Structure 1
Amino acid sequence: MTRGLLRLAALFALAGGVLLSNVILPASPTGAAAAPTPGPVEAEAAPLMMVPQPSQLPPADETPFTGSWTPESGTRILVGDASFATEASRLAEELAALGILLAEPEIFLLPEGGAAAAEVLAGDIVLEQGSNGPAILATPEGLTISGADSQEIFRATRPFLQQLVATESVPAGHFVFDLPAEQIRSVHIDIARKHYPIASLEALLFQLSWYGFNELELHFSENEGFAIESTTHPDIASEDAHSQAGISELIDLANSLHIRVAPSLDMPGHLDHALDTYPELRLRDPSGGEVFGALDITNPDALAFAQDLIGEYTELFSQPEFNAPVAWHLGGDEFVNFDSDYEVAALTASAQAEYGANATAYDALTAFVNDIAATVRDAGFQPRVFSDGMLRSDEVPLDPQIEVTYWTQRPPGAVPASEFAAAGYRLVNVNDEYLYFVLGERVGYDYPTGEAILAEWNDTVYPSVAGAPEIIEASTGGMLAIWSDIPDALDADSVVAAVRTPMAAMAVKFASPETTMPFSYLETMLDASDEPPAVRASDPGELDTLAGESTMPPTEPSGTDDPGGGVPMFESLLANQWLWWLGGALVGIAAIVATAAVRRRRG
């Protein structure tokens, strides 16, 4: 009898262990996540440590994924398309830089026929064309990273590296990342009021790339400074302004990380520093008093000054390698006090002379914005404007092709985001209730930690009207805005460190808008995956071709080619926690039965 009880206990323990070994455990419902174990990690127990989180596609043969893939000392990178060679070279260097491999792996070009026609080993990493978006297919027999182009390959290798840093292995599965190229995933940084060394901006770029962002918006003109050297008007630049050569190199780095750099040259307001040099170009009230920071858009010389600057910086920020135009933020915000008839008298008079007796100062502003938008569009850029002050004109409609960064409902009379959407404008979500990082926490803004972003925001959640957020389904993406209101409140490196978690929270919500991930799990992932490697892409030259036969599994699932058809990974793991609980229960029963057997033996 005692021996039978012990056999029964062993069976319960085995069944429980099998169930437990086939569950990838995320954070518990209370938010307590499993900490990574030092040293080699058991493949079956490795949690998914990727930001953003992927969806999972079904296996090709309907056999459940089990186990994991782990790199080996002989791991190679095998390239199925020669256009992926630079990404392969970057990945090889990163694997060594992060300590995942002791040395950079060799890189080979796959022969015609791909992995199926070559001798591919279980520890190899295959980079090849795929139709599911950025994707990772991992089994104990091999790992394939796929994408339509080098940008998608790059997007998939970021979470792949995070996973290896955190757990040293990749759980078996077909993981797809919902990161469409047309979605705007941006960070705006005010370098006009605070000098950020190029090294700090480079660190921010690597952080952006690590979490799937595709744009950095550089705001370089403010009332307190002008942050980039000017060749047409050299006397307007701040003493610590960046050289154009330095910014050009920064743009080159960003582009190599598949990130666009959008200029933000704010006008006709926010120009006080530049106008200190050209006071004759300032807007003035009827008594001749200066209107702070405002360019006199009724003055042809002031308009020529604006065009000079635009012509100069369109050359600097030209990035023709991208398929779509790079954005140009022309500002248009916080121009004047429109409620003061005295302050806007010159604007009103000009507008009425041009557009009729019903025109207002808002018509003068809108006409200026439309003219600047046409200039930057002709130079190959996508014009972008802040929301406040727009759709307030009576006679001059805002150019419908202008992109609107919608940020607040604070100013009295601000037009709700829903009205912009109804009028057909492309909206970028810069919701100041979640996405404003204001140095010194000025004017009531607290530093965002990412917790509220993860719990409440996605890119359809726009600033509140009458106490409730507006939901704009047609949103084109989101932008975290770093404003340097009190520049000495934090040093440059501290700013970059402080925005890491909010950026990661945004990344999660870009890919999985309805996720229920606890903030503590995000924090655990960030602690485990650490910082991105500062590796720059390099061309490896002509690659040798691999030969032989493959043991690789198929790289495309038999289910769907639609990345939206997968199950969000975090939610699928929560749905399968019953396996974890059942496995634990069986192990517990085994312990009880074993105890009973021991007691019977002792009795």
Structure 2
Amino acid sequence: MNRRDRTDGARRPRARHLTSLLTAVGLFAAGLAGAAPATAASAPEPAAPAVIPAPHQWTPGGGTLRLGARTRIDTDTAGTATARLLAGELREFLGHAVPVTHGRSRPGDIVLRVDPARRDLGAEGYALSVTDRVRVTGHGSAGVFYGTRTLLQELRTSKALPTGHTTDVPSSGERAVGVCACYTYNTDAWLTRLIKDMAYLKLNTLHLELKVKSVEYAAVNTFSYYTPREVRGIVALAARYHITVSPEINSPGHMDPYLTPYPDLQLADTTGAPDPTRLDITDPDAFTFYTHLIDADLAVFPGPYFHMGADEYMIRSAYSHYPQLLAYARQKFGPGATPQDAYIDFVNRVDAYVRSKGRTLRIWNDGLTGENTVPLNKDVVVEHWLPEPVTSQQLLDQGYRVMNASDALYYVRGSYRPDAKKLYDEGWTPSDFADGTATSHQDGITGAEYMVWPDNYGKETENQAQQGMFDSLRVFAQGAWGGPKPTGDYAGFTALAATVGHAPGWGPAWTQPVPEGSYGLRSATGAGLTAGPSPAPGTPLSAVHGKQQAAAWRLTKTDDGYYRLLDTASGLCADVSRGASNAMHVVERAGAAATAETCSAAASQKWQLEPASGGYRLVDAITQQALTVTTAGAAVQQPRDTARHAVWHLTPQAPAATRHGR
């Protein structure tokens, strides 16, 4: 959101983005033999498993174990879901299906057990023992699951598993990734890959700021929204990988995705001008509006938390511009009240509402400046991202639970990235906040969060973000879990990260389903996509029948998984960049026209080809809306769930002379 543009007091980390494929640490991809498993007692003593995050300790056994053709997964009832998931993942390594059994194990098997007596393992710790078989034990199913993630990574870094054992318990309860799908839409495929990688790295919380498509307030559905069905699918997938999803609807600031159609609920300044980014917290109808939005979220997000944001309500402004806030506070709390008391009161009222629904409220810290006389409710979890007069240590000392969401852990699309090398070299931990290291009441630190913001997403596709996050997300996972660093320096770490790679089943980074070349593009109605006979930059695209249709569009692949569409007759490229833009300077509104523009490096000129029945959807890589055709023949973007005539048939065509090169 816009809060990430703020420079008054916020650090601006700049990452040296290194995607190193160094082999200095001697790592290599696993090539698992199909021979019967055996230990090699005479082999040199292997090192600890080379995995991310590294286990807290490792006692070597002096040999190795190879999994092979006879390997099975032996499990109890509590571990069955993990066993079935692991069986599918192991196909990548063993080349065949791995049977799941319930009973007595034999040498070469993988044994999964839940042991309620192992309270020393906590909710997510595991014991891993490699002898003549692999044994993974957890106090609960989550611990067993995380033990299998260590096993999978070992199979990526070694031909044979080192024998030995570990008891590995995370140092932090919450190891989170936050994604602001606000003002933008992150695809289901992208979120699926993120969830699988998070689990592979033992991260357990996904914080999603997104808009759920509203039935009650249909005017907010201009995009970017997710349908309730999409949200339920995300939550179900996350649960399968032991990830809790925490939703956010930011308020009372940054509310323009919801408030723009409702000026009566907007906070007006001394001139009477309403502000679509600010909710009028003195208006009972505004509170009702917000709680109804909360209800819609809680209906599809079953987790224990709700995040209300609560950041930057007065960013680039001052309470004095809104005297009604002071009047409200003094009427409610007496003559000594401050205007910020009205803000804290709103947060506390939302907290009470959320508690009545059985959930716990979370907020960002930057509204807690110390100018209020009304205290924040103690049950609210504070996510600390920015140095403020009230420090992270003071919040802990006052008894609040605090999450470390330092802006040093922020990935901003099209802007700055975490300094992964610095974080690794300095041994960052969740105790290291943006305003210093917490030294007392550390039991109040809930964990830490790596955050992905969209501030400049018009300049960076989600596929580019996926690549750019790779190393820093792994550094974060290492620090959040809390074990010793697996390598002595950052170069070795990036080499290990490259070898460990992505989670099994992560799939290809993207799909480009057709070869480069010239194609005719016809909609489901048979109309051909065209820029017109003599288009100039800015000419709307249309779909027409008969001889008017364009001869061909040249499709060229981009290096981040998309295509550019060039009209071979005019040399112009298909784009969605004209019209009213959102706060991120992207034309996201449904129904915006696709236009022919001078070809450039603009990310909005990149298009996904998504296979669909009978052809492909053409989806803009930035707006993530499908190209469709109106009844009047105009080519416009629409969200996937409402797009009609959005399937395009591609017919290869002989290349024609163009006015411009590729």
Query: What are the equivalent positions in structure 2 for 1:183-198 lying under 5 Å apart?
Result: 183-198=173-188
Task: Give yes or no for contact 2:197–2:506 (8 Å, CA) kept in 1.
Answer: no
Structure 2 letter corresponding to 1:348: L
Distance 2:483 2:323 in 1: 46
Residues 1:89 and 2:84 aligned together: yes
CA distance 1:31–1:105, change in 2 (3 Å):
closer
Distance 1:344 1:104 in 2: 66
- Encode CA deviations 1:224-269: one digit per residue, 9 max, x unaligned: xxx3201221211233422111111110100111101100110000
Residues 1:101 and 2:94 aligned together: yes
Residues 1:436 and 2:410 aligned together: yes
SS in 2 for 1:459: coil
Q: CA deviation at 1:381?
A: 1.6
Task: Give yes or no for contact 1:402–1:425 (8 Å, CA) kept in 2.
Answer: yes
Structure 2 letter corresponding to 1:407: W
Q: CA deviation at 1:198?
A: 0.9
Give 2:206's aligned residue. Answer: 216
Distance 1:50 1:452 in 2: 20
Give 2:651's aligned residue. Answer: none
Could you tell me which of 476, 480, 498 is aligned with 1:527?
498
Structure 1 letter corresponding to 2:494: E
CA distance 1:67–1:341, change in 2 (3 Å):
closer
Distance 1:535 1:109 in 2: 28
Query: What are the equivalent positions in structure 2 for 1:257-272 lying under 5 Å apart?
Result: 257-272=241-256
Give 1:563's aligned residue. Answer: none
Could you tell me which of 406, 414, 418 is aligned with 2:389?
414
CA distance 1:44–1:379, change in 2 (3 Å):
farther
Task: Give yes or no for contact 2:263–2:276 (8 Å, CA) kept in 1.
Answer: no
Residues 1:148 and 2:139 aligned together: yes
Distance 1:422 1:477 in 2: 16
Structure 2 letter corresponding to 1:65: G
% identity of equivalent residues = 25
Query: Which stretch shifts more, 209-218 or 485-494?
Result: 485-494
Give 1:26's aligned residue. Answer: none
CA distance 1:210–1:37, change in 2 (3 Å):
closer
Task: Give yes or no for contact 2:382–2:403 (8 Å, CA) kept in 1.
Answer: yes
Query: What are the equivalent positions in structure 2 for 1:457-472 lying under 5 Å apart?
Result: 457-464=428-435, 469-471=437-439
Task: Give yes or no for contact 1:66–1:139 (8 Å, CA) kept in 2.
Answer: no
Q: CA deviation at 1:521?
A: 2.3
Give 2:564's aligned residue. Answer: none
Task: Give yes or no for contact 1:391–1:398 (8 Å, CA) kept in 2.
Answer: no
Structure 2 letter corresponding to 1:179: P
Give 2:550's aligned residue. Answer: none
Distance 2:484 2:57 in 1: 16
Query: What are the equivalent positions in structure 2 for 1:105-504 lying under 5 Å apart?
Result: 105-110=98-103, 118=104, 120-130=105-115, 131=118, 132-133=120-121, 134-179=125-170, 183-220=173-210, 227-291=211-275, 293-319=277-303, 326-337=304-315, 340-390=318-368, 392-409=370-387, 414-432=389-407, 434-441=408-415, 446-456=416-426, 457-464=428-435, 469-471=437-439, 473-474=442-443, 475-504=445-474
- Encode CA deviations 1:175-224: one digit per residue, 9 max, x unaligned: 232226x711001111012211111111111111110011101112xxxx
Q: TM-score, normalised by structure 1?
A: 0.73
CA distance 1:253–1:57, change in 2 (3 Å):
same
CA distance 1:146–1:356, change in 2 (3 Å):
same
Distance 1:257 1:455 in 2: 30
Distance 1:493 1:375 in 2: 38
Distance 1:136 1:429 in 2: 28
CA RMSD after TM alignment: 2.4
Distance 1:31 1:396 in 2: 57
Structure 2 letter corresponding to 1:439: R
Distance 2:229 2:461 in 1: 24
Q: CA deviation at 1:390?
A: 1.7
CA distance 1:205–1:44, change in 2 (3 Å):
farther
Task: Give yes or no for contact 1:88–1:127 (8 Å, CA) kept in 2.
Answer: yes
Distance 1:531 1:37 in 2: 12
Give 1:23's aligned residue. Answer: none
CA distance 1:137–1:38, change in 2 (3 Å):
closer
Task: Give yes or no for contact 1:44–1:68 (8 Å, CA) kept in 2.
Answer: no
Give 1:51's aligned residue. Answer: 52
Unmatched 5+ stretches in structure 2: 1-21, 34-39, 508-662
The structure in which a higher percent of residues are helix is 1
Larger radius of gyration: 1
Distance 1:423 1:37 in 2: 50
Unmatched 5+ stretches in structure 1: 1-29, 59-63, 111-117, 221-226, 320-325, 537-603
Q: CA deviation at 1:385?
A: 0.6
CA distance 1:392–1:338, change in 2 (3 Å):
farther
Q: How many residues align?
A: 467
Give 1:73's aligned residue. Answer: 69
Give 1:562's aligned residue. Answer: none
Q: CA deviation at 1:498?
A: 2.0
Distance 2:462 2:506 in 1: 21
Distance 1:40 1:233 in 2: 56
CA distance 1:236–1:44, change in 2 (3 Å):
farther
Give 2:567's aligned residue. Answer: none
Distance 1:520 1:170 in 2: 24
